[in-house]
Structure 1
Amino acid sequence: MSVSAPYVQPRAGGPDAWAQEAAQHGQTGTQLLREVTELEPSADVAAMLNLQPGETAIVRRRTMLLNSQPVELTDSYYPASIARGTRLAEPQKVLGGAVALLAGLGYTPRHAGEDISARPPNDEERQLLQLPSDEWVLVLSRVLRTDAGLPVEASTMTMLARGRHLHYALSL
């Protein structure tokens, strides 16, 4: 089972949200940082971040592992105007997590919007997730915004559909 709330709130240290969630189910969750770079994102990501043509973002690409097996590809994008020159732009783990770092910079995420879809994986996703040819993936896209509505993070999580249970609890 996976819940979103721990991933969108600043953390005070300790294990990251993925490791903590896996441990609650008696498993080991780790992550492999594949790439950190500045680029002009796809039109979809640029729209999520309200970027104008030519504006760039810092992307952090990770493979999430459960008991040493790849289960999710997570690409998190940050407006370069916010992330350039911070630990978000460095090719190393962000201690305390990106959300805590954003909060420390004065960009505390207060609102999260998510969209979930299912589709066949592309060749790279199939290879990285070690999927058979007939298996599909779930794609969860999330944007985090400040109280003022400023988008500060857009993430795309491509995950195994098999065995996945997403749980949402809303307070209205």
Structure 2
Amino acid sequence: MPEPHADNRPLAERIAAEIRKQIMSGDWEPGRRVPKNKDLREQFNTSNVTVQRALQILKDEQFLDGQPGVGVFVRSKPAQTIIPASYMPPSQPGQPYRWLTEAAKREQVGKYRMLEVGEVAPPVEVARALGLPDGGTAMRRYRIGFLDGQPAELVDSYYPMDLAQGTRLADRRLIPGGSPAVLDELGYPTRSQDDAVGTRPATTDEYVHLEVPRDVPVLEIFRIVYSDDQRPIEVSILVKPGHRFKMGYHVDAP
């Protein structure tokens, strides 16, 4: 039999991983004071230097907050669970984009800023998902979202040119009600979506825009939105800081 995969990471990284799991699971609740170094040394059977290294890793990742002269505490806000289904319906006429109204329900202030808008040759996986011919182009809308002033997500959306050209999807500004409202007005209501979710290291652009701590992965959602007759009307690549968000899904039994 093959040898089991060994954990050859430095002990400080392994200790940080155990504490990180406790924080993300809620066993170490927000605002809790971290146990004394003496207790952590005994728990993990290691030195004070190694414990300090582990805690510093978690401070750098923003899981812990060190307050000089007071102590070290678990971050005040737990990882936020995002429910994709809550954003599917288009906003009512005159209402803000649903992502913003859902943030308000959680007593958060949401905001978007456009980064790029224009006709482009999309990535291969996007072109394939939209069913574009070889050399086909799409309308790209690239933006960043903030929650309570902190960068929360990068959204890179693509639309077939026959739908987007000459519409508000081509405007170089934010759309009141968001793209689902525009597509609904054009006769292409959202009927379903497919999400592929994964994690990976951040690119430089993501690292800078999302202010991701070093060595923290990003959460990527590759989303295909369908209208009637399963026509793909939008493909979006959403990227979120991995230490601040979780994805939540509800699936009914068949």
Q: Which structure 2 residues correspond to residues 138-153 of structure 1 after superposition, within 5 A?
A: 138-153=219-234
Pick from 144, 147, 157 the counterpart of residue 66 of structure 1.
147
> Unpaired segments of 5 or more residues in structure 1?
none
RMSD (Å), alpha carbons: 1.3
Query: Which residue does 2:61 correspond to in 1?
Result: none
TM-aligned CA deviation for residue 67 of structure 1: 0.9
Does 2:124 correspond to 1:43? Answer: yes
SS, match of residue 6 in structure 1:
helix
Q: Which structure 2 residues correspond to residues 108-147 of structure 1 after superposition, within 5 A?
A: 108-147=189-228
SS, match of residue 138 in structure 1:
strand
Aligned length: 172
- Inter-partner Cα distance in structure 1 for 2:190 and 2:97: 17
Following TM superposition, where does structure 1 have runs of at least 4 consecutive aligned residues deviating by more than 6 angstroms? none
C-alpha contact 1:8 1:144 (8 A) present in aligned 2? no
Query: Which residue does 1:88 correspond to in 2?
Result: 169
Deviation by residue 1:103-154 (Cα, 9 ceiling, x = unmatched): 1111112111000000000111101111222111000011111121110000
- Inter-partner Cα distance in structure 1 for 2:250 and 2:150: 28
TM-score by length of 1: 0.94
- Inter-partner Cα distance in structure 2 for 1:104 and 1:19: 20
Query: Which residue does 2:32 correspond to in 1?
Result: none
SS, match of residue 148 in structure 1:
helix
- Inter-partner Cα distance in structure 1 for 2:229 and 2:180: 16
Higher relative contact order (CA 8 A, sep 6+): 1
- Inter-partner Cα distance in structure 2 for 1:167 and 1:104: 29
Does 2:180 correspond to 1:99? Answer: yes
Query: Which residue does 1:3 correspond to in 2?
Result: 83
C-alpha contact 2:117 2:141 (8 A) present in aligned 1? yes
- Inter-partner Cα distance in structure 2 for 1:28 and 1:106: 31
Q: Which moved more, 1:44-53 or 1:6-15?
A: 6-15
SS, match of residue 100 in structure 2:
helix
Larger Rg: 2
